[in-house]
Chain A
Amino acid sequence: MDAIVKKSSKRKWFFLLVLLLLVFFLSLFVGRYSISPIDVWRILLSPIFAQQPGEFAIEKSVIIGIRLPRTLLTMLVGAGLSISGAAFQGLFRNPLVSPDILGVSAGAGFGAVLGILLIGVTPVISLFALPFGVMSVVLACLLGKIRNATPVLSLVLAGIVVSSVFSALISLIKYAADPYDKLPAIIYWLMGSFTKASYDDLKLVTLPVLTGITVLLLIRWRINVLSLGDEEAHSLGVNPGRLRWLIIAAVTVVTASAVTVAGIIGWVGLVIPHMGRMIVGVDHKALLPATVVIGATFLTFIDIVARTATAAEIPIGILTAIIGAPFFAFLLKKTKGGWL
């Protein structure tokens, strides 16, 4: 019995990892500037096999300078948002929660939009987005500290309050912004995109995102206990308060970093955890690593579509729902919701 379960779970992991690898390479192989697959291989293997100097100079800069950082960034963001969603759904004991429930997206979005209004679209707007994202979560946590109330419920409520305030402020800035110049930039930013992905972005967010993911992976089994509710966690020797702040901190760092480099990408953090549960079950010990792999694969695949489907690039925040929703509906029908 145990052996069968282990074998089938090994096969699932193998399948998931192969899929991730395939999407990774596909992402390097396709794009606006067409390069033959053979040349892509030659460029990728160029550190091993010597080439004549100057050969494939443009192709090289496309693949190594543009597609590679973009692919890595997409994977990082996809993995980060997905594991954050899974951790939050366990923490809040609610499968409808997404990582921005405490207002991090609205906060970071407001920061970025404010930055665009004040100084225009420059890489500096990251420095606006990140602190505002963190600030909004801190605000929600302070607001949510209500005596005599279920901590999890009051936190969600506080998150909704903070989110709506920042959303309103974003609307205010949109209303005030120059409609020919700033407004399109703001709207485009808010829809989420990896168009400007660079090694600088990668340098900015790799460390925080990987740190957050590592923390969540380390405490993943405890999330099971926390998902039983505070009283039961207590009775099982788990301090729910401390664990909760650790998870919120990790998720906030990851999500704020993701929003900073990619804008607001919805749906991934909500739905990838459900796909994970369909495949590996509800135990967070298996679920969290699975969401990392599935999230990275999913978002990279969507990004490939975003930059190749039409002549102009489609903002990825739109496609995650347009492609993701029907796919999810299909899975829901097919698995008959057995994991819910």
Chain B
Amino acid sequence: MSLEVRKGEFGYEQGKPIFRKISFSVEQGEILTVLGPNGSGKTTLLKCITGMLKWKTGGTYFDGKPVNNFNKSNYCINIGYVPQGYSLIFPYTVSEMVLMGRAPHIGLFSAPSAGDWEIAGDILNVVGIDHLASKPCSEISGGEMQLVLIARALASEPDVLVLDEPESHLDFKNQLLILNLLRKLAIERKFSLIVNTHYPEHALRISDKTLLLGRGGYVFGSTEDVITESNLRDYFGVNVKMLLFDNEKGERLKTIVAIGLLDN
């Protein structure tokens, strides 16, 4: 099971492509992080992958088969999408919200069955928010809301999970909570994840592969190869230093310190 983008090109305006011939892939159980400065098209890329936007040329392939037309009923794969930032118009309860993830499996004129409720309930447990089930989404914290959105995407039983900056706007603890959850989903449940992030450290912490986007170009490869001092300097225009240290368990951790802007 692998998701692949081959020679994808996309631009909002004619003749002004954001990506040129971009190719990358993610295998089952792997996490791919997408890094890049503001405006480099990270969110646009995710929308192209999920089919919300249409590739101009090239396309997304699942196990070698093209997934171009965004129509879930003839879709050979189900891509779960966790959107960035959230404004809620109607304060649905957490369980109502998670239940909406079942939509691809529920007919136009039907409502969720007992089976759907059960699946949603199980997922609340997996994500660890079962105690919030009957709370309105307007009364939970930002970190909890992010978990709800992840749970909703999981409820659709996706093959691939795509997350748009799931950990931004969250505090230290919630960031770790989300990152650990993503890691757990990839290892234990064998999901493929594609995660946009602003934090190179987070990419180092959780991902197997990284796609670094920049104006006009990109680098793709294993996270260790892609996230280097020189690549970050080139793509973000910032002088950085990568530091290594061991935690008390003897695990090697990496962190990245921004030293200053590049002098032009």
Contact = CB atoms under 8 A, between A and B. Distances in A.
Interface in A74-110: 90, 93-95
Interface string B108-144: 1111100000000000000000000110100000000
B101 A282 contact: no
A236 B101 contact: yes
B103 A238 contact: yes
Contact of B92 (A218, A222, A237, A283): A283
A5 B134 contact: yes
A282 B50 contact: no
B201 interface: no
Contacts of B108: 218-219, 222, 243
B111 A227 contact: no
A228 B92 CA distance: 10
Given A221-B111, A221-B112, A236-B100, A227 B89 contact: yes
Contacts of A93: 89
Contacts, number: 71
Contacts of B83: 231-232, 235
Nearest to A223: B90
Interface in A229-254: 231-232, 234-239, 243
B91 interface: yes
B207 interface: no
B156 interface: yes
Interface in B140-160: 152-153, 156
B110 A221 contact: yes
A282 B91 contact: yes
Contacts of A228: 100
Contacts of A236: 100-101, 103-104, 152, 156
B100 A281 contact: no
Contact of A237 (B103, B134, B152): B103
B71 interface: yes
A285 interface: yes
Contacts of A235: 50, 52, 79-81, 83, 153
Contacts of A243: 108
Nearest to A214: B109
Interface in B141-199: 152-153, 156
Nearest to A281: B93
Contacts of A33: none
B27 interface: no
Is the interface on chain B under 10, 10 to 19, 20 to 34, or 35 or more residues?
Answer: 35 or more
A237 B156 contact: yes
Interface string B70-97: 1111010011110100000111110010
A283 B93 contact: yes
Nearest to B51: A234
A219 B111 CA distance: 8
A95 B111 contact: no
B109 A237 contact: no
A231 B51 CA distance: 10
Contacts of A222: 103, 108
B106 interface: yes
Contact of A234 (B70, B109, B111): B70
Contacts of B75: 237
A134 B91 CA distance: 33
A1 interface: yes
A308 interface: no
Given A95-B90, A236-B152, A239-B71, 5 more contacts: A218-B109, A231-B52, A282-B90, A282-B91, A340-B91
Interface of B: 47, 50-52, 70-73, 75, 78-81, 83, 89-93, 96, 100-101, 103-104, 106, 108-112, 133-134, 136, 152-153, 156
Interface of A: 1, 5, 90, 93-95, 218-222, 224-225, 227-228, 231-232, 234-239, 243, 277, 281-283, 285, 339-340
11 contacts: A1-B134, A95-B89, A218-B108, A224-B100, A227-B90, A231-B47, A234-B52, A236-B100, A236-B156, A282-B91, A282-B96
